Amino acid sequence: MVRLKDIAEACGVSIATVSRALNGLTNEGKERTAFICQTAKEMGYYPNAAARTLKTSKSNNIGIIYEDMMTHVYFSTLFDSLRRESEKLGYDLTFIGRGDFTGQQYYENARQRCLDGVIVVQADFDAAGIMHLATSSIPTVIVDHTYEGVDCVTSDNRASMEQIVRYVYLHGHRKIAIIQGQKGMVSRERLAGFYKACVELGVRVPVEYVREGLFQNAVACTEDILELMKLPDRPTCVLCPDDGSAVGAMARLHAKGIKVPEDIALVGYDGTLMSQIITPRLTTFSQDCTRIAQEVFSMLIDAIEYPDTHIPKQVTVVGKIIEGETV
């Protein structure tokens, strides 16, 4: 095992100088610091994470809270973007699942693990444990939900739905229905955007055109579409909760002899790879996971590195329509 002493001898400097250089605490010139770090790398030196934490009070470890089952394609894409961004910045990611402890203990668990910060991707945002963590001294960034005075990064759910409605309107649709996901901030924002665009375009929305559905549930989505198609004045286009629901519904409708988009037009949400490799390709809305991850870490690193001057903010990330063949 390579020791600091070995690196010091190879570089012709003291052990203390090597230690400071590897921990970014040196006042040495940039060239000498780079030389020491490169030599250590070539010699196969790996720092002891526990010892570094004791010396610097930093673990270079970020916690991620995700309470749902990991089956939603959007979240797997977001996790990959977060992983790439964390690796780029030299941080490790640790998942904090609700199976480990009760929600009240999120803060305590983060402290015990010496986490430098936490990213809350999916959770019961009304739970006391989540709110306690978000407002604590531990740097925390919330994704797709907002708290006053807390760092938050959200997709522009309201504007995205406005874009979708205007898109299908330009393609001739005047009878537009929407199937929502589970109740929450995301669904509320999307529904608000849907109504806003319809009002501005003069599109009438019968109460029957708005259905309460589920995310990632093709069976429920199919049933809702079939119910909408039974209406005397049925819609010509249905906005689905997400790509998973829409893709699954297309297959089930096809089995019943219902063609998309000839018999009914469908629009998904998330812009997943799956939606673009099926036939017909799904018209959908792509969320910018790369940008979301960048904004999350920008806030988090600033809060970690400059706790005394950091000012929490809320950032909204825009996405784009992916034109498919289902409208």
Residue-wise pLDDT tens digits, 63-117: 999 887 666 778 888 999 999 999 988 899 998 865 445 555 888 888 888 899 9
Q: What is the pLDDT of residue 17?
A: 84
Query: How far apart, in Å, are the Cα atoms of 160 and each of 13, 177, 218, 250, 301?
Result: 58, 16, 22, 22, 28
Taking residues 156-162, report their average pLDDT: 96
Structure tokens at 183: 């109740």
Q: What is the pLDDT of residue 294?
A: 96
pLDDT in tens, 242-269: 999 999 999 999 999 999 999 999 999 9
Structure tokens at 116: 């430098």
Question: Can you name the residues that pair with 204 across neighbouring β-strands?
Answer: none
Q: What is the pLDDT of residue 26?
A: 56
Of residues 78, 88, 72, the one with CA closest to residue 288? 78
- Examine residue 280 and say whether the peptide bond preceding it is cis (omega within 30 degrees of 0): yes
Taking residues 149-168, report their average pLDDT: 96
Of residues 292, 253, 286, 277, the one with CA closest to residue 325? 277
Query: Computed over its alpha carbons, how large is the radius of gyration of the chain?
Result: 25
Answer for the pair 272, 243: CB distance below 8 angstroms, yes or no.
Answer: yes
Dihedral of the alpha carbons of 237, 239, 244, 245, in degrees to the nearest 10: -80
Q: Please tell me the CATH code under which domain 157-286 is placed.
A: 3.40.50.2300
- Contacts with 286 (C-beta within 8 Å, 6 or more apart), sequence order: 270, 271, 319, 320, 321, 322
Taking residues 131-148, report their average pLDDT: 93
- Give me the helices (H) in the chain, please: 4-11, 15-22, 30-42, 49-56, 73-89, 106-112, 128-134, 157-170, 185-201, 218-229, 243-255, 273-277, 289-305
Q: For the whole prediction, is pTM greater than 0.85? A: no
* CATH fold for the domain made of 61-155+290-318: Rossmann fold (3.40.50)
- Domain positions in the chain are 4-47, 61-155+290-318, 157-286
Amino acid at 244: G
Q: In whole angstroms, what is the distance from residue 229 CA to residue 223 CA?
A: 10
User: Does the fold of domain 157-286 match that of domain 61-155+290-318?
Assistant: yes
How many DSSP H helices and E strands does the chain contain? 13, 12
3-class state of residue 236 by DSSP:
coil
Q: In whole angstroms, what is the distance from residue 283 CA to residue 312 CA?
A: 36
Answer for the pair 124, 184: CB distance below 8 angstroms, yes or no.
Answer: no
Q: What is the pLDDT of residue 2?
A: 78
pLDDT in tens, 12-26: 988 878 877 877 665
Q: What is the pLDDT of residue 104?
A: 56
